Structure 1
Amino acid sequence: GAVLLKAFLVCWSHDTVFVFIATGVEKAKVVTRISASSLVAATAWCREVDDEAKKPALADLTVVVAYPRRLTFLNGSGAQKKEVPYIESTDGAPRALACSASGLLVVVSSTNIIRVWELGRGASTAQPKPVGAPRRINITDKESGEEVGIVESVAANCTRASILMSRHEKKASGGGGAVRHQIDARIVFYDIINDLLAFKYCKASDVLYSPVTHTWDHRDPRVMACEGRDVTPTKATRRQGVESSSSISRINTLLIFILDDSGSGQIVMQGTHPCRTPSGTAALPVAIATPYIYFYDSSAGSVSKVCQRSFAGMESACDGPQGASTAKALIDFSFYLAKGNADAAYRAVRAVESLAVWENLCRMAVKTRQLQVARRCLGRIQVSGEGSGGGPVSSAPAAALRASFVLRDGDAKADFATDDEELAAIAVHLDMIEEAEELYRQASDYFKLNKLYQRLGRWSDAIAVAEVHDRMHLSSTHFACAKSLEAKGDVEGALKNYEKAGPAGLSEIPRMFLRFGLLQPLKDYVQRVQKPFLYKYGQYLESTGKAKEAEGYYHQAEDWAALVRLSWARSDLDGARKICRDSGDSNATYQHAKYLQDYCTAPGGQCSPEGKVFERRTMPGVEGKEELLKEVVDGYSYSGRVGVALRLAQAYDMEAELIKLSMQAVYSDEGAGGTATAGAMQAARFYETKGDYARAAALYQKIGQTDKAISLCLATEQHDALRKLADYLTPETTDQATMERCAKVLIEQKYYDKAVQLLASSKQLENAVAMCKDYDVPITEELAEKLTPKDRDHPKYRELLLAIGDLSKQHGL
């Protein structure tokens, strides 16, 4: 092994220790050679010299050598300072040791007893002193019940030590029951100050790692990094019965832990980093100083500095004048974030002003699914971005993506269905596409995942998501894909997606062919595919003056309205009529009626359908204007435009048609408030102005204007019409005063049966029963039910029942 100090390099083998002086540019020189037969382990430490100009001497160097039964402390010249015996039966034998930069020596024996020594402060002759009492490693996993095995290596800093252990494993059947040592996936941590033991599994993202090497951070004593080899068994090894320890990873992973310095013993995983150089080759981690990791590339013989993935983009902040405090704040943030304490995490970094730092902190919050922290960080990013005149991400495509995506035009306070959906939106804002994909899948928000893929141009992924999870938007996805491919000039790809996009896509195909001037391919395609494209191709032929050819395609497409238009264009009125009659198509009939109305009403004896001007007298098959207008009204009525027909009939005093259309308008499917109802209202007013009050009242009642109908009947003394309206009067539609007034009029006109019904409906039961007696009104079951009080507490309930009974008996009910 070897230890590199500020002025010395100490190396050792199984029987010799060498001390070199490191002189900088020159080769190191051996100054001391110490014989150490049966050496188990060794380490060294050099005391800091008060005078910076003065170089450390050999007397300032302490070399610690562990033998099977003793621990020896030597100076740089090989002179012994102290020797500590180990009793094998109780203490075991020294097995692993490590010394921190502050001079704290940690020794672990074969029986897992930890001893800590302070190598000396002050004078170089100071003797090593034990720190605290020896401590045995006796922790057990509560879940598996496994105890730690034998110590393999130790690493230490000023307050803590990390220990790698091995565990005993029996070989598989056929191995003779032999036992072998396997590095435990657990790391043991010893808090020297608080005398606490804890352990942590080397596990990240459900992957189990076997520790290889470990080291403490040179900047922060809470941070420890461990190189791990993936030992999670694959499907192949499980099928073949191969042990998990035999699986080999391509590149090892550095796992970074943060320990709580409050004495709680909490350990959290800060993150992972692949053990490779910037060029991508496998490398050995030799040191860590947040935010950097130092790797040794054995093939190139060089050491490279790499920034941790968690702190990417924050190098300048950590290297600046406030670098130490910034690095500590970032580690605090990581620790609290891993613990789920959002408020403490934000407090740890709120003094940081760097935009890059806040952006990366927001990334960390998204990765750890801390929504509250991510919101706060995003707010700081936006504020800082506005102040600096730039956005959080410099990528133009990413900026365009953010502007068009789910942040609701930059509003981070928009409503989201789930926390995962909001985190995904923030991930898109930060250009964290992989995280956004994962979050949308977790939230089962496949529509937004589909939209994300579309905006990224990942059409195969978008279509795959739509086919499996978002079939409602499958057609629109194909349509958007086709539009994108068409813009790139990929006609064949766009054609396939337009075909899969349904009717909306099919209508775009002729336009695309014409856009690229592919006339013959369009014609071939139309003939092959037929109906959906015939109309568009017919339009194209008509626009080029080939009306006769267009007519054939319109006929195959059953576009009767277009054929009517062409008939009118060539002044063929009989042809247009025949098309309407034979097809029975309402659109064609409406088109014909519209052109015919223009023809009849055009000034100067001319009409101009679709820009074509014809002399009325030259039109073949033209009858008198009255007959043509009747044909127009019938056409509008047949095509469902009852309101239009009513207005036309009213304008030309077509009384017979007006009567028929008025009733048709009342029962039209257009419903209340539609054009048909408005037409019926106009017809009622028309009849009212003509003095036909009975018909006007009937129309008012049919379209729900009951009060207006009653007022008209009463004002114009239309008693017979009022008698008919009485059947439709109820307390729900007519106020009581109006009903009483109507009843009075009906009594005066001797319509006693209708008057009784109105009196019963208006709750005047006594008057109604009395009128039945006085005028011998026939009693029916329905009328008897109306005359019976609903409330048994009615003051004359009994008398009314007896009277109704007598009347019913008289009329044989």
Structure 2
Amino acid sequence: MTTTLSLDEGLGFEKGETLNCVSYCAAKDIIAAGTGRGRIAMWQRVSSLSLGEEAQGQWKLQTPTEFEGNITQLQWGSSLNLLAANGVSTVLILCEHVMSAHFSQQVAAVQLTPSQLSLHNFGSGSQLSLRCDSHVKGVCVTKDTVAVWNGKQVTVYELSGTALRSAGSFPCESQALAMYEENIYTVEPNRVQVRTLQGTVKQLLVFSEVEGNPVLLSVCGSFLAVGTDTAHFKLFDLSRREAKPHCSAKNLSEVASNVGALLSVKCNANGSQVSILVAQVSGRPDHKVYFYDVEMDTVSHFDFFTGRPPSGVSQAEDPESGPSQNAELRGRCPISQFWDESEPRLFACETVRTADPRRSSLPDGLGEVEVLVVSFFCTQEHGLLLQDSYLKPAGMQALLALDVPFYYFSCKPGEGEADSEEPPGPAPAPAPQSSAPPGPQASGPPMVSRRAFRDFVGLEECDKPTRDAMLNFSFYLTIGDMDEAFKSIKLIKSEAVWENMARMCVKSRRLDVARVCLGNMGHARGARALREAEVEPELEARVAVLATQLGMLEDAERLYKSCRRYDLLNKLYQASGQWQRAVETAETHDRVHLRTTYYGYAKHLEATGDRNMALVYYEKSDTYRFEVPRMLLEDVLSLEIYVNKMKDKSLYKWWAQYLESQSDMESALRYYEYAQDFLSLVRVHCYLGNIQKAAEIANETGNRAASYHLARQYESQEEIKQSVHFYTRAQAYNNAIRLCKENGLDDQLMNLALLSNPEDMMEAACYYEEKGTHMDRAVMLYHKAGHFSKALELAFSTQQFAALQLIAEDLDESSDPALLARCSDFFIKHSQYQKAVEMLVAAKKYHEALQLCLDQSLTITEELAESMTVSRDSKDLPEDARKELLEKIADCCMRQGNYHLATKKYTQAGSKLKAMRALLKSGDTEKIVFFAGVSRQKEIYIMAANYLQSLDWRKDPEIMKNIIGFYTKGRALDLLAGFYEACAQVEIDDYQNYEKALGALTEAYKCLAKAKMRSAEEQEGRLAELQHRITLVKRFVQARRVYEEDPGEAVRLCDTLLEEADLDPAVRIGDAYGFLVEHHCQQGSYQVAHRKLEEMLKRLPSVNVSYYVSQRSLEALQLAMGVALGGTRGPPGGRSDRRDSGGEEDEVEEDEALEAHQGD
């Protein structure tokens, strides 16, 4: 990008002044140029982050540096970035340093040139210019005194009204200087000197070697803050005749990390707080401001890098406004700090963004970067509280001080009251001395400007009580103590004060306080707007409404943007006349209101006379079809050109109507055709008598409105057929029907009636009925029109049975019951029983429908059953009748073998036992188990268990589990005992597993003992019998168990057992004999074994011996005895040998199942 730089006469250059040489310093981003008249012009590149990218190439011209002669050459050099200037007779080296400035007690001093100062007394309003006889390195002022020093000499002036008088001068090489009343404070190694105005040392404030050398001095109120080169600081009380230490020296590096050198040490007006800016060990400025509480002896800090204090420092923060404030303060670095001279709670500092590379050290020119002035309340109880923050005003160079109700800034000549933004310029030195003598000179333009606090806008001249009340109100509002806030202002009656407090509420976002302020202001419009804004969900949007009412449009804009309420921002721009910004907002963020914004802008442009742009925005808002003709109506030629250019049908139609109103029918017809407005074409042709042409257009286009208009024309000319035709095309069937009835067109009447609505159908049906002909058409039309009763009456009276069947298909339960009954009778007569049943059900004659199903053996489907089921909340049947009907439906289903449906209906009727019986008949085991589980009735549990016993429960453990569970839940312990006995018998008969049989019998005994049988004697008899069986089984089990250890004892026990008369079925005789035969065969006593076998055969003549004695033992016995053994009959009950291939596996499965269920 190419930029042309030129000189400005307003800054002191002359017209026609030429540039001789140019030199650029990349480190400082400065272009220096020498002129033919002894001036050096400097342009500083602007790199403010608040500017857009295009501003990166902008350069700002500085105030010129002047000396005698023509400048022929300029060159930057050395590590200090010095500028060498070659004149006609001299060579000068210029260095850059920050202009000195100081403010105290309403007096400000600002350096203009290396040897000239501008003094401004805000108390008296006077302004003086002081020219010194040496280069000024620093300046310090009080209410009556000005001290200037150059690093070697201190000169003191007394200020009296509009005059300056030299009060003394003395040599001093102090690098820092401060004043309080009649004392001057200077530094030297390890001490601070307290001098008189004439330089006499009257007291020494000594610092130890550890504390270091004083390098920083600052006075506020009656307290002196001193900072040393070893990061120590100390506070002195100056209110007495001699300075006294107010607190001992503190080493900041001991309580804070990464502390290098101290850059600034300041104290507040009552000496309770000390604030410190430091450089890090690396030399870069720290992002933190440190605060030392003198009374509590604690150090805290605020970190501008994060935008918030650490957890140890309290901060009143609105949960909704806090995040945005933190974001505003985040990523910054403090560069200067100030305490209010009279208000000890008020602290302010200047901050810059850390992104700028020049901020690695304190910037020389602060106007070029985005500087944010931040003020805080700082108290011991509440810590650090953000009071306000705003960008440094345009044209201001640096903050000098704050003294309620003003901030004081240094500025360039002429910019004190202007809004122009110019960066500060360097002060080159040395420069040729002017011939004017040192001392006061005529005043020039002001170099110091003051800006009111946010809370004191409009109250700049208020008295001290009002000022204190406003400060207290602001403080209590910040900490959220509304009671104290209102107490502090209860006596204030000034409307300006209340307006100021309302403005405060915009910053603090306290709408509750704002309502009180608006009420005291009498601002009815604002109060109403604030009340209406309560519907907005975002706090920022409600606060923005308040800001708008108070005229704080920039704040309102910022608030709307922060909460992303671009719709309200759009309205704000429109209301304030910022239409271009409103359009941009609508296009980028508020597209919902884009058209309305375009329309509003177009109306605004039309009102201001800019018709061309208004036309553009009417088009964008899509309202041009009616707004542009209205706007251009007085300029018919322009309007015609616009209509032809746009080629829009709506515009064509509007223009055609306009031409028709002007009786230009031919042109109107042409534009109606362009607009494809066929109704208007037909209308105009009819008006002109071209009815044939109109008929062609209506037939070709099929336009209903055009056809209707043409039908009316034909009707007026009594051309009935043409009129009916076009009424039909227009779908105006009632008019066509009317003409057909009036003119006896019965054939067309039927077709038209079927196409029309029910009312027209009824009218046509009445017509046919009245004529007495085509009764079938009348019935059909009544049916189609939904008048079933009339259609049925007519069908019955005229014996139209085919039509009757069609009508019956559309009848439902909402139809007249009497009609439904007649239809059912009709269907019964014609043996259409299914349809008759449907009619009876629709008529709610459920019992007749059921009887018909039974008489005619009609299957009751689930759909039919549901249609006969009356809901619980129905008023057609009482509850008893409803249940009775359901049971009858279920009974009918039972007769037809539809057990599942019967179960459902019995259940709906509440007859669960009947439902269970129906379900048992179905044999659906899964549903039986489920139904028993959900019914939770004793009888149903027992029925389910009894049913499950009829199944093959021996092979299905789940069935056995359910049997035991159902008997237990049904409390049928006697039946459960019987089931356990059956289990025991299965174990004996099928598997000869007497151990498991013994367990099952034991469970049976337990159950039977707990059972409550009707007959106690019967229960005792069963228990005795069961106990005897258990004893016998237990003895046989004992014999088998002791066999391994004592076979003889086992044989004796078995022999004794065989002597029992009622041994079988508790212990099968065959099993006992088989045990003995096996034993004797193993012992080789084949004679005894054969004898026992013979005894068994005598007691069990029909048994198969191999079922009880192993084949191997039989073969050994046959071989030993030489006789044939083994019967041909099978075991009792047809059971197979337990020793076959599958016996063991089945036995294991059964055993596991039984154990599981016994466990349950």
Answer yes or no: is the 8 Å Cα contact 2:776–2:800 preserved in 1: no
Q: Residue 665 of structure 1 aligns with which residue?
A: 756
Instruction: Give per-residue Cα distances to partners, 1:321-340, cap 9 Å, x unaligned.
Output: 74223331343156337xxx
Q: Residue 138 of structure 1 aligns with which residue?
A: 253
1:434 deviates by 4.0
Instruction: Give per-residue Cα distances to partners, 1:165-223, cap 9 Å, x unaligned.
Output: 342575xxxxxxxxxx4444433322333333233345783575555543322342111
Paired with 1:710 and 1:382, the residues of 2 have a C-alpha distance of 76
Paired with 1:425 and 1:719, the residues of 2 have a C-alpha distance of 78
Q: Residue 54 of structure 1 aligns with which residue?
A: none
Answer yes or no: is the 8 Å Cα contact 1:291–1:327 preserved in 2: no
Unpaired runs of 5+ residues, structure 2, are 1-137, 308-326, 414-443, 872-882, 899-1160
Answer yes or no: is the 8 Å Cα contact 1:214–1:227 preserved in 2: yes
Secondary structure at the residue paired with 2:886? coil
Q: Residue 610 of structure 1 aligns with which residue?
A: none
Answer yes or no: is the 8 Å Cα contact 2:346–2:378 preserved in 1: no
Answer yes or no: is the 8 Å Cα contact 2:184–2:195 preserved in 1: yes
Does 1:28 pair with 2:149?
no
Paired with 2:360 and 2:180, the residues of 1 have a C-alpha distance of 41
Map 1:335-346 to 2 at 5 A.
335-336=478-479
Paired with 1:430 and 1:494, the residues of 2 have a C-alpha distance of 32
Count residues with an aligned counterpart. 693
Paired with 1:111 and 1:472, the residues of 2 have a C-alpha distance of 63
Does 1:730 pair with 2:822?
no
Q: 1:687 to 1:132 in 2, by over 3 A?
A: farther
Does 1:383 pair with 2:519?
yes
Q: Residue 165 of structure 1 aligns with which residue?
A: 277
Answer yes or no: is the 8 Å Cα contact 1:698–1:709 preserved in 2: no
Q: Residue 176 of structure 2 aligns with which residue?
A: 41
210, 220, 243: which one pairs with 1:128? 243
Instruction: Give per-residue Cα distances to partners, 1:648-667, cap 9 Å, x unaligned.
Output: 7678887655544443234x
198, 222, 228: which one pairs with 1:109? 228
1:734 deviates by 4.2
Q: 1:130 to 1:570 in 2, by over 3 A?
A: same
Answer yes or no: is the 8 Å Cα contact 2:284–2:360 preserved in 1: no
Which is worse superposed, 554-563 or 680-689? 680-689
1:565 deviates by 0.8
Q: 1:657 to 1:161 in 2, by over 3 A?
A: same
1:534 deviates by 2.5
Q: 1:717 to 1:757 in 2, by over 3 A?
A: farther
Report the residue type matching 2:647 in the other structure: Q
Does 1:758 pair with 2:758?
no
Instruction: Give per-residue Cα distances to partners, 1:218-241, cap 9 Å, x unaligned.
Output: 34211123345x35435xx69xxx
1:563 deviates by 1.0
Map 1:473-622 to 2 at 5 A.
473-502=593-622, 504-513=623-632, 515-519=633-637, 521-532=638-649, 533-596=651-714, 600=716, 622=717
1:257 deviates by 2.1
Paired with 1:711 and 1:311, the residues of 2 have a C-alpha distance of 90
Q: 1:511 to 1:773 in 2, by over 3 A?
A: same
Q: Residue 405 of structure 2 aligns with which residue?
A: 291
Report the residue type matching 1:189 in the other structure: F
Q: 1:705 to 1:94 in 2, by over 3 A?
A: farther
Secondary structure at the residue paired with 1:412? helix
Paired with 2:762 and 2:537, the residues of 1 have a C-alpha distance of 48
Does 1:96 pair with 2:216?
yes
Map 1:172-187 to 2 at 5 A.
181-187=283-289
55, 72, 78: which one pairs with 2:193? 72
Paired with 1:662 and 1:350, the residues of 2 have a C-alpha distance of 84
Q: 1:206 to 1:797 in 2, by over 3 A?
A: same
215, 224, 244: which one pairs with 2:338? 215
Report the residue type matching 1:23 in the other structure: S
Paired with 1:712 and 1:348, the residues of 2 have a C-alpha distance of 93
Instruction: Give per-residue Cα distances to partners, 1:668-693, cap 9 Å, x unaligned.
Output: xxxxxxxxx56556667777888999
Does 1:250 pair with 2:353?
no
Secondary structure at the residue paired with 2:164? coil
Q: 1:411 to 1:98 in 2, by over 3 A?
A: closer
1:245 deviates by 6.4
Secondary structure at the residue paired with 1:135? strand
Map 1:278-357 to 2 at 5 A.
281-297=395-411, 299=413, 300=444, 302=446, 306-308=450-452, 310-311=454-455, 313-315=457-459, 319-320=462-463, 322-332=465-475, 335-336=478-479, 354-357=494-497
1:562 deviates by 0.8
Instruction: Give per-residue Cα distances to partners, 1:349-386, cap 9 Å, x unaligned.
Output: 67765544454544444456x3xx13541x3355345x
892, 896, 905: which one pairs with 1:800? 892
Paired with 2:484 and 2:165, the residues of 1 have a C-alpha distance of 49
Does 1:635 pair with 2:750?
no
Paired with 1:714 and 1:281, the residues of 2 have a C-alpha distance of 101
Paired with 1:376 and 1:684, the residues of 2 have a C-alpha distance of 77
Paired with 1:510 and 1:120, the residues of 2 have a C-alpha distance of 84
Larger Rg: 2
Report the residue type matching 2:700 in the other structure: D
Q: 1:499 to 1:420 in 2, by over 3 A?
A: same
Answer yes or no: is the 8 Å Cα contact 1:531–1:557 preserved in 2: yes
Q: Tell me the percent identity.
A: 24
1:713 deviates by 7.1
Secondary structure at the residue paired with 2:367? coil
Q: Residue 191 of structure 1 aligns with which residue?
A: 293
1:8 deviates by 4.3
Q: 1:722 to 1:343 in 2, by over 3 A?
A: farther
Q: Which has the higher contact order (CA 8 A, sep 6+)?
A: 2
Q: 1:155 to 1:266 in 2, by over 3 A?
A: closer
Secondary structure at the residue paired with 2:609? coil
TM-score computed with the length of structure 2 as normaliser:
0.52
TM-score computed with the length of structure 1 as normaliser:
0.71
Instruction: Give per-residue Cα distances to partners, 1:707-760, cap 9 Å, x unaligned.
Output: x758977999999676644322333x347x557655576479768544321123
Answer yes or no: is the 8 Å Cα contact 2:372–2:392 preserved in 1: yes
Report the residue type matching 1:105 in the other structure: L
Q: 1:650 to 1:449 in 2, by over 3 A?
A: farther
Paired with 1:756 and 1:725, the residues of 2 have a C-alpha distance of 16
Does 1:154 pair with 2:266?
yes
Paired with 1:745 and 1:114, the residues of 2 have a C-alpha distance of 117
Q: Residue 259 of structure 1 aligns with which residue?
A: 377
Q: Residue 954 of structure 2 aligns with which residue?
A: none
Secondary structure at the residue paired with 1:263? coil
Which is worse superposed, 569-578 or 691-700? 691-700
1:437 deviates by 4.1
Paired with 2:329 and 2:374, the residues of 1 have a C-alpha distance of 16
Report the residue type matching 1:315 in the other structure: L
Answer yes or no: is the 8 Å Cα contact 2:473–2:485 preserved in 1: no
How much is the aligned-residue C-alpha RMSD, in angstroms? 4.6
